[in-house]
Amino acid sequence: MDRGWGFLIGLLGAVWLLSSGHGEQQPPETAAQRCFCQVSGYLDDCTCDVETIDRFNNYRLFPRLQKLLESDYFRYYKVNLKRPCPFWNDISQCGRRDCAVKPCQSDEVPDGIKSASYKYSEEANNLIEECEQAERLGAVDESLSEETQKAVLQWTKHDDSSDNFCEADDIQSPDAEYVDLLLNPERYTGYKGPDAWKIWNVIYEENCFKPQTIKRPLNPLASGQGKSEENTFYSWLEGLCVEKRAFYRLISGLHASINVHLSARYLLQETWLEKKWGHNITEFQQRFDGILTQGEGPRRLKNLYFLYLIELRALSKVLPFFERPDFQLFTGNKIQDEENKMLSFPLHFDENSFFAGDKKEAHKLKEDFRLHFRNISRIMDCVGCFKCRLWGKLQTQGLGTALKILFSEKLIANMPESGPSYEFHLTRQEIVSLFNAFGRISTSVKELENFRNLLQSIH
C-alpha cells in the first residue's frame, strides 16, 4: 500500500468508537450559550456525541482532509452552469462580481484529468476498452436506425442512473467546463432576497415529506414563528418514520452548513485595493442564536452534525472500492497519485435501519426518497448566483453520492478484488463531489469552534 493511502487510512481506521465526552459548560446568558448550549451530547438516530465529532474533526481530520482537497484530482470539478431551470423561467441572474465563476482554460487542467474517462489504473482502463469494443462488435446491430440508436442510448443512461440519488450534469456537453474550486471558493456573494428564498422554500415545501395537516412552513428560516409553536412543529417530526425524519434532517443540515460557510467567509470590508473576508458574528447569530431564531438555531446545528456522520459513514462504507490494488485517483502526476488515498470511520449511523419494513412498502419509500433528492439536485439549476449554483450542485451531488453508497452495501461487498466493477462504480465526478462535499461539512464543524470562541470573547 502506498504512503499516501496508508496515511489517511491509518488516520481514520485507528479511530474506533471513541469514548463520549462533554465540552466545558459556558457561562449562562452569553451569546455563545444561546447558540451552542443545546448543541451537545448524543445525536438523535445516532450513537455518537457532538463533543467526539468536534475533537475528531477539528484536530485530526480537518487539516489532512484540506490538504487532500488541494491536490489536482480534487480541485478540478467539471460542471454545466448553463443548464436551464426545469421548474420556472423567471430567474434573476445575480449581477454581482462575487457571483461570477471563472472557468479553467484548457491548458490549466492536467492532461490526466481531461483524458481520464474511467477511475481505474491504465492497465484496467485498457482492459475495459477492449471488452467494450468486443461487446459493441458482437451486440450492436448496425442496421438500427439513428433514431433507434438514440433511444437505446437513452435506455442505457436510464439504467445507469436508476440507483443514483442525483441528476448529474452531462459532462460531455459543450457547456460543461472545468472549474478550479480553490480559485472559486464558497463564500457570501450578496445573493439573497425573494429569488434565494424561493429555492429553499421549494426544497422544503415540495420535496420534504410534509404531512398535509402541518400548515406551518417547513423552511426553518421562515420568520414569525413563536417558541410555543416551535415545540408543536417538531412534535410531528419526531413522529415520522426514521427515513422521512432523516431526509428532513439531511436537508436542514446542508442548509445549516451552507449558512455557516457564508457567515465565516463574509465580505467585511471592500476598498479599491482589496476585499477583506472574515467571520461575521452578527450574521451567524441571526441564523443560529437560540433566542433570535425562536429555538430553531441549535436544532439546525445538530442537523449539521447528523449530516456529517451520514457522509462520514458513506466514506467508511466505500473504502473497499478505493482499496483495490488497481484503483487510482488518476491525474497523470505519479507523485500526487501516490499521495492520494481514502478515509474510514467507525459505525456511528446504522443505515440498515432504513427501509427495513415490509418489502413492497420499503421499496416504494426508498424510491420516493431517491426521487425527492434527485428533484432537489435539479433545483440547483434554478439558483441565480453562479457561484452559489456551483457549490450547490457540488454539495448535492456529494450527498447524493453518499446516499448511493449507503444503499449499495451488497454491491460493494460483491465487487471483484481487482479490475473494473460493473455492479458498483463511481465516476470521477462522484468521487470529487463526495470528498469536497464532506470537506465543506468538515469545514463547518471547524468553523463552529471558531464562532464559539469569538462569541465568548465579546462577553
The residues assigned a catalytic role are 385, 388
The span from the CA of 438 to the CA of 443, in Å, is 8
- Residue 450: which of 13, 62, 4 has the closest Cα? 62
Count of alpha carbons within 13 angstroms of residue 177, beta-carbon side = 17
Cα separation values, 43 from 47, 51, 61, Å: 7, 11, 20
| Residue 255 annotated as part of some ligand binding site | yes
| Residue 282 annotated as part of some ligand binding site | no
254 contacts 220 by C-beta, under 8 angstroms: no
DSSP 50-105: HHHHHHHIIIIIHHHHHHHHTSHHHHEEEE-TTPPPSS-S------SGGG---BPP
| Residue 96 annotated as part of some ligand binding site | no
The span from the CA of 307 to the CA of 178, in Å, is 27
The span from the CA of 395 to the CA of 308, in Å, is 12
The span from the CA of 321 to the CA of 119, in Å, is 11
| Residue 121 annotated as part of some ligand binding site | no
Contacts of residue 176, Cβ cutoff 8 Å, sequence gap at least 6: 78, 79, 80, 169, 170
| Residue 252 annotated as part of some ligand binding site | yes
| Residue 344 annotated as part of some ligand binding site | no
Cell of 19: 469514548
- Residue 112: which of 322, 430, 337, 330 has the closest Cα? 330
197 contacts 435 by C-beta, under 8 angstroms: no
Q: Which residues are annotated as a binding site?
A: 187, 189, 200, 252, 255, 287
Q: Which residues are annotated as a binding site for FAD?
A: 187, 189, 200, 252, 255, 287
